[in-house]
Amino acid sequence: MTEATLPAPPTRLTLDLDALVANRRTIVERVGSRVEVAGVVKADAYGLGLAPVARALLADGCRSFFVAHVDEGIELRAVLDAARHPDTRIFVLNGLTPGNECLYPTHRLSPVLGSTAEIAEWSGFRAASGASVGAALHVDTGMNRHGLTLAEARAFAAEAGVVEAAGVTLVMSHLACADEPGHPLNAIQLARFREVRALFPHLSASLANSSGVFLGADHHFDLVRPGIAVYGGAVVSGEATPMRPVVRLEAAIVQIREAVAGETVGYGARQTLRRASRLALLSVGYADGFHRSASSSDGAGGAEGRLHGRAVPMVGRISMDLMVVDVTDVPEAARGDMVELIGAQVTVQDVAARMGTIDYEVLTSLGRRYERIHRGG
């Protein structure tokens, strides 16, 4: 494939795997050598691409991975096998899917058991099939999402032989408010998880997601599960992230038009031009995951791109496949120039704030129509 024989793609998503690994290193250094740093690669590695991300993490020493669904686990196992790494564990966060038990030993996947029903099904399946693949146990400490209640965990711990029958090797819980360091639920969850760990002294223990890592060493236990921080996301809600940006989204200007003051732009005529303007058309829209909520109107500004180091604000509504930015203040702007929509100058957090959402949703919404370039790794 040579550049000369293909038309220049109008939009480009560049994923910097060196930055991704640098972000993982930051966490490895923070937790120290006695704590394992797992990789969380659910939802196609937060929209960045499961295979290239998994290979980069693997090369950096990652040996335990978390996915959400069993099909993601199957895909990941194939990637790890192709890289000749049988010494890896894959945990399926959403647990056991009824009727799919046999997929777990076949692909060496460990369910994260989060209810007494799942424990019973899994233990029964292991006894009947002789499968030796292990599992993790999720105990809820304050989210009321996945996981045994504390009372159920106490009962489970008190019953002889059941931990072994389920092949449980890891006990974990998940923090609800780790991105708000001052939130009182953090201390409550930590205290409850200490009790959980004391119930299962022979198992390794895991509490922290990305933000949890930064709450301090008492949250680290034996294994941490950072996702978003590795992908360049925020660690503390509303604060600049110490992580390096991993994703860069650029769109080429496909057309520049002059419009006169008093005219409106886009569907619904929601924005009226206050001055004679140069408007640049980009081939990105909400079908590409650039949410319509980042549109601009007379009442409220929208997202902003960067061109030649200057801000180019969105004008009017974002449509399915197109958006318009104002390049009046960038006189050298020309057809073909690349406008940064996410990257080092426009952070994922900025874009998320404009969309009224969080960086997780921006990344996992990234469209399938972009040309994807993986750098480094």
Ligand X SMILES: *Cc1c(COP(=O)(O)O)cnc(C)c1O
Stretch near ligand X under the rule CB under 6 A, chosen from 3-11, 222-230, 320-328, 347-355: 222-230
- Which candidate in 46, 104, 231, 267 is catalytic? 267
Assess 227 for contact with ligand X (CB under 6 A). Answer: yes
Assess 110 for contact with ligand X (CB under 6 A). Answer: no
The minimum distance between CB 231 and ligand X, in angstroms, equals 8
The minimum distance between CB 136 and ligand X, in angstroms, equals 10
User: Using CA of residue 34, residue 35, residue 41, residue 46, what is the dihedral sign?
Assistant: negative
The position carrying tokens 């692909």 is: 107
The residue with its CB nearest to ligand X is 227
User: What is the spatial distance between Cα 75 and Cα 44, in angstroms, rounded to a whole number?
Assistant: 10
Chain Cα centroid distance, residue 188: 26
Residues 6+ apart with CB under 8 A from 106: none
| 57 vs 284 by CB, closer to ligand X | 57
The minimum distance between CB 255 and ligand X, in angstroms, equals 38
Q: In this structure, which amino acid lies at residue 307?
A: L
The packing angle between helices 150-158 and 116-129, to 10°, is: 30
Stretch near ligand X under the rule CB under 6 A, chosen from 12-20, 188-196, 223-231, 341-349: 223-231
Question: Mind giving me the DSSP string for 253-286?
Answer: EEEEEEE-TT-EESGGG-EE-SS-EEEEEES--G
Binding marks (x or -) toward ligand X, 73..102, rule CB under 6 A? --------------------x---------
User: What is the spatial distance between Cα 296 and Cα 67, in angstroms, rounded to a whole number?
Assistant: 36
Q: What are phi and psi of 272, to 5 degrees?
A: -105, 135
Assess 228 for contact with ligand X (CB under 6 A). Answer: yes
Which residues, 37 to 56, sit near ligand X by CB under 6 A? 40, 42
Stretch near ligand X under the rule CB under 6 A, chosen from 56-64, 95-103, 155-163, 221-229: 221-229
Stretch near ligand X under the rule CB under 6 A, chosen from 187-195, 225-233, 285-293, 314-322: 225-233
Stretch near ligand X under the rule CB under 6 A, chosen from 219-227, 298-306, 325-333, 338-346: 219-227
End-to-end CA distance of the chain: 21
Q: Specify whether 42 is catalytic.
A: yes
Question: How do beta strands 135-138 and 168-172 pair?
Answer: parallel
User: What is the spatial distance between Cα 285 and Cα 350, in angstroms, rounded to a whole number?
Assistant: 17
| 42 vs 197 by CB, closer to ligand X | 42
Q: Are 226 and 246 in contact (CB under 8 A)?
A: no
Assess 209 for contact with ligand X (CB under 6 A). Answer: yes
User: What is the spatial distance between Cα 313 and Cα 318, in angstroms, rounded to a whole number?
Assistant: 12
The minimum distance between CB 178 and ligand X, in angstroms, equals 7
Assess 15 for contact with ligand X (CB under 6 A). Answer: no
Q: Are 196 and 155 in contact (CB under 8 A)?
A: no
| 264 vs 364 by CB, closer to ligand X | 364
Assess 210 for contact with ligand X (CB under 6 A). Answer: yes
- Which candidate in 42, 104, 231, 370 is catalytic? 42
The minimum distance between CB 225 and ligand X, in angstroms, equals 4
User: What is the spatial distance between Cα 74 and Cα 82, in angstroms, rounded to a whole number?
Assistant: 12
| 67 vs 323 by CB, closer to ligand X | 67
Q: Are 152 and 192 in contact (CB under 8 A)?
A: no
Binding marks (x or -) toward ligand X, 146..175, rule CB under 6 A? ----------------------------x-
Beta-carbon neighbour count of residue 294 at 10 Å? 24
The minimum distance between CB 332 and ligand X, in angstroms, equals 40
User: What is the spatial distance between Cα 297 and Cα 301, in angstroms, rounded to a whole number?
Assistant: 6
The position carrying tokens 């993986």 is: 374
Assess 224 for contact with ligand X (CB under 6 A). Answer: no
**Binding interface with ligand X (CB under 6 A):** 40, 42, 93, 174, 209-210, 225-229
Active site residues: 42, 267
